[in-house]
Amino acid sequence: MQNTMDWNDYHYFLKVAVLGSLNAAAEALSVNHSTVFRRINALEARMDVRLFERLKTGYVLTEAGEEILQRVQAVEEEMHAIQRTLLGKDIRLSGTLKISTTDTLGYHWLPPYIRRFKARYNDIRIDVDIKTRYTNLTKREADIVIPAVNTQPETMVGWKLAPILIRLYAAVDYIAQNGRPRTPEEFAGHHFLLPNEALAGLPADRWLRRLIPESAIVATSDKLTGLYHLARQGLGLTFLPHYVGDTDERLVAVMDLPENCYHDIWILTHPDLRHTARVKAFMQFMFEATRGERGALTDP
């Protein structure tokens, strides 16, 4: 086996091992299928060992591949740790700040705050990454996460910014045609727009599905913004965060959902990044800028 190895080969190996196919790895790495195929074959040739079994269902690690995977993952984590440590010493109020958040927060709640932040820190470029899954800060997928969660993850540091009230909404036209239910007992005969399996774990989704028959669900979506746009077309009732539904004149707030359906907006970062100048500046700005929002929604 040659002594000179390219870390990129291990990076390709890691993607195939985790994702289980060349196509998935190629998409994740933004390269061609043939590139991944060539790099994996070259790695096996240099190491003189077969790392994957080529099956019709995909690439499966051999025993040797399993052993190498553990070591490669450990090396990858060390490299990410080095990057976070170096970035944590960055004192420049410039450069790119990558923020990961949900679709409703990213499209409806966050933009006005970014505008105000940019007016103060013009040299910091904001990169907003909309995700439905939880961002891995350990792997530097983002510098800051702004999620809607009820508890703070132990691996991150940050603050609670504001509560999210969840309400049932419908289009003005829908209410005019079908009436406005005042209680869950009046849901009979109404149409509903609910998340599909991608968001099936939301408390609001579970609450509604216990109260209505499957036949009442006329459309689903993997994003709350999808339900928002369907509701605006008068297709039925759906639940939305208050900052989405309350700001649209075409929607009517039908009722508040139980408090156990509510969430909180957090701002979080990795402990190694909290002293990075641009990370610290944005987190402090958001905490101060949302002070009134916290009070307005929590005061009796």
* Domain co-membership, 135 together with 118: yes
Domain boundary pick from 66, 88, 110: 88
Give the confidence band of 145 by pLDDT, cuts at 50, 70, 90: very high
Residue 293 placed within a domain: yes
pLDDT in tens, 284-300: 999 999 988 876 554 32
* Domain co-membership, 218 together with 245: yes
Residue 122 placed within a domain: yes
Residue 77 placed within a domain: yes
* Domain co-membership, 206 together with 224: yes
* Domain co-membership, 271 together with 188: no
**Whole domain around residue 251: which residue ranges?**
166-261
* Domain co-membership, 171 together with 254: yes
Residue 2 placed within a domain: no
Across 233-246, average pLDDT: 97
Residue 51 placed within a domain: yes
* Domain co-membership, 205 together with 287: no
Domain boundary pick from 59, 88, 117: 88
* Domain co-membership, 177 together with 149: no
* Domain co-membership, 218 together with 237: yes
pLDDT of residue 264: 93
pLDDT in tens, 89-137: 556 688 999 999 999 999 999 999 999 999 999 999 999 999 865 555 5
Residue 105 placed within a domain: yes
* Domain co-membership, 213 together with 256: yes
Residue 208 placed within a domain: yes
Is the whole model's pTM more than 0.75, yes or no? no
| Calpha distance 149→134 (Å, rounded) | 10
Domain boundary pick from 36, 64, 88: 88
* Domain co-membership, 21 together with 37: yes
* Domain co-membership, 17 together with 71: yes
Q: CATH number, domain at 23?
A: 1.10.10.10
pLDDT in tens, 46-95: 888 898 998 888 899 898 888 888 788 777 676 666 665 655 555 668 89
Residue 1 placed within a domain: no
Q: CATH number, domain at 220?
A: 3.40.190.10
Structural domain count, the chain: 3
* Domain co-membership, 54 together with 72: yes
The torsion defined by the Cα of 148, 149, 155 and 161, in degrees rounded to 10, comes to 60
